[in-house]
Amino acid sequence: MKLLLTSGGVTNRSILEALGDLLRKPIDECDALYVPTAQWGHPMCSPRTAWMSTADRWPGEHGMVGLGWKSVGLLELTALPSIPRDRWEPWVRDADVLLVDGGEAIYLAHWMRESGLADMLPSLTDTVWVGVSGGSMVMTPRIGSEFVDWNPDGGDEALGVVDFSIFPHLDYPGWSSNTSDAARRWATRIDGPAYAIDDQTAISVEDGAVRVVSEGKWELLKG
Please tell me the pTM assigned to this model.
0.95
Write out pLDDT tens, residues 8-47.
999 999 999 999 999 999 999 999 999 999 999 999 899 9
Write out pLDDT tens, residues 157-181.
999 999 999 999 999 988 889 999 9
Dist CA 105 CA 149 (whole Å): 9
Q: Which domains does the chain have, with CATH numbers?
A: 2-222 (3.40.50.880)
Beta bridge partners of 6: 132, 202
Adjacency order of strands within the sheet including 218-222: 165-167, 194-197, 218-222
Q: Which of 123, 129, 118, 135 is nearest to 23 (CA)?
A: 129
Write out pLDDT tens, residues 51-73.
988 888 876 555 799 999 999 99
Dist CA 98 CA 200 (whole Å): 20
